Amino acid sequence: MADAKEHTPGHVQVECDTCGADVGSAHADSYHHLWEDDVAAFLHHEVTPVCRQCCAYRGMLQSGVGHAPLLLARVKGKDEDGTPFVWIARRSRKRVKQPYDCPEPPPKLLWTDALRVKRHYAKPGWWVAFLFVVGSFVWLFTGIARLTKPVSKPDPWPPGLDSLSAGMSVWPEIIALFLMYLPACLLQVYEATNMDMECRMRAWEADHAAACKQGAEEGKGGGSGPQPPRPKPRPRLLPTRAHLEMVSWWMAMIQLLGILAFIAAVLTELIGTARLLSGDVYRWAISFLFFIGGLLFSIASWVATLEETGSHWRGVVPSRLKDLHSISWAAVFFALQGSLGFMIFGIVQFAYLDISWGGIQGIMVYGQIWASLCFIISSGAGLLEQANPSHL
């Protein structure tokens, strides 16, 4: 059970009867989903129980009106005065404006501003997109290089760690995995674990202003004066219960597991350029692990489409004209296409050991070159999303 008490004007603080913790504040774990803090800032008052019960919730398992799903992705509802709102989990994670804060018509799209590091260096979402763009260009380069026999089928085999084959394929991929993709996936987990940072900062600023005002009034009346301010909220390293009830955190974790599988596969391939490995090692430790990495990326990308659209299928195929004009929709759609390309590349290499040279070139065009291009488009859309927070 919990009791409600007035904390500051216009803000209701809920205190747990058992431990006395403030469970409604953005400073502590909430018994509710994170969307309520964002929507409350838009409505200028707390989300009422009636409003909460009338909202339509979308996510994984048991989506519907009046009850939140197991993992939340999207909330659509109306305040008691009829004010509509739509809250999207991805936009909260990326720290861009929610639909109810976006103007109509949207402002002019800024293209080159996405590359201004000084403006965006403090945004985790910008770094995630930037690192994926750079890493995908590296993988695009190695995919093109692998279309040639001196790189894919050098003579003699194994060619050696200092060979042209290793230098044009495996080594650049190792660099991209460790310096671009892995940091990007770790940042994405950090981003999902701190997707409520803005509302925590709003709560802290409101508490700080109220404390300063109260302290000044007490000082005028001969009191002890201003009280020491509560510390600023710090970034979290571990998720709270509220984060575990969002699709966002699980999407980031699944993608991190996928990149670890890719790293294991490419490290084994690097060893294979120095010493002769058996066919079973190539099949299971390289091709199968690459397939697992692609499968995990595909699952994570599908969850990302759910996080953006609130639908299990709308981000998978274009179904509405306005989706084609959406930066965020393009980011999740092309990420899914690229992930499927890597997954299919891995399963074909695993299933067909005696594939012809023409077949190798064909699957390389689809499974690495096309897949890398899709990730370049997806990550480029992610950069534009950061530079244009008012665009859906």
Contact 165, 173 (CB under 8 A): no
CA dihedral sign, ordered 92, 97, 98, 101? positive
Split into its structural domains, the chain has a count of 2
SS3 119: helix
Tell me, what amino acid is at 185?
C
22 and 143 assigned to the same domain: no
**3-state helix vs strand vs coil in the chain, percent to 5:** 60, 10, 30
- Predicted TM-score of the model (pTM): 0.87
60 and 182 assigned to the same domain: no
pLDDT tens digit sequence for 226-272: 566 678 888 999 998 888 989 999 999 999 999 999 999 999 999 99
72 and 20 assigned to the same domain: yes
Question: Are β-strands 2-8 and 84-88 bridged in parallel, bridged antiparallel, or unpaired?
Answer: unpaired
In a domain? residue 214:
no
* CA atoms of 392 and 378, how far apart (whole Å): 15
Q: In the numeric block, which tokens belong to residue 106? A: 């949207």
DSSP conformational letter for 246? B
Task: Please state the φ and ψ torsions of residue 6, each to the nearest 5 degrees.
Answer: -70, 130
Length of the chain in residues, anyone? Answer: 392
336 and 286 assigned to the same domain: yes
Q: Which residues of the chain have pLDDT under 70?
A: 1-33, 62-63, 66, 216, 218-229
Contact 129, 96 (CB under 8 A): no
Helix (H) or strand (E) holding 73: strand 71-78
Helix (H) or strand (E) holding 4: strand 2-8
In a domain? residue 225:
no
In a domain? residue 107:
no
In a domain? residue 226:
no
Integer angstrom CA distances of residue 374 from 20, 132, 381 = 50, 11, 11
137 and 62 assigned to the same domain: no
148 and 59 assigned to the same domain: no
124 and 97 assigned to the same domain: no
Query: Is the bond preceding residue 233 a cis peptide, omega within 30 degrees?
Result: no
125 and 21 assigned to the same domain: no
Domain that residue 269 falls in = 112-195+235-387
252 and 372 assigned to the same domain: yes
In a domain? residue 53:
yes
pLDDT tens digit sequence for 76-117: 999 888 889 999 999 999 999 999 888 888 888 888 999 999
Domain-terminating residue out of 75, 101, 127: 101
In a domain? residue 119:
yes
176 and 245 assigned to the same domain: yes
Q: For residue 358, give every residue at least 6 positions away whose Cβ sits within 8 Å of its Cβ, in sequence order, or none.
A: none
Domain-terminating residue out of 101, 126, 142: 101
In a domain? residue 210:
no
Domain-terminating residue out of 46, 71, 101: 101
Give the per-residue pLDDT at 273.
Answer: 94
273 and 190 assigned to the same domain: yes
Contact 377, 137 (CB under 8 A): no
The residue to which tokens 């509710």 are assigned: 32
**Nearest in space to 305 (alpha carbons), one of 296, 295, 314:** 314
In a domain? residue 213:
no
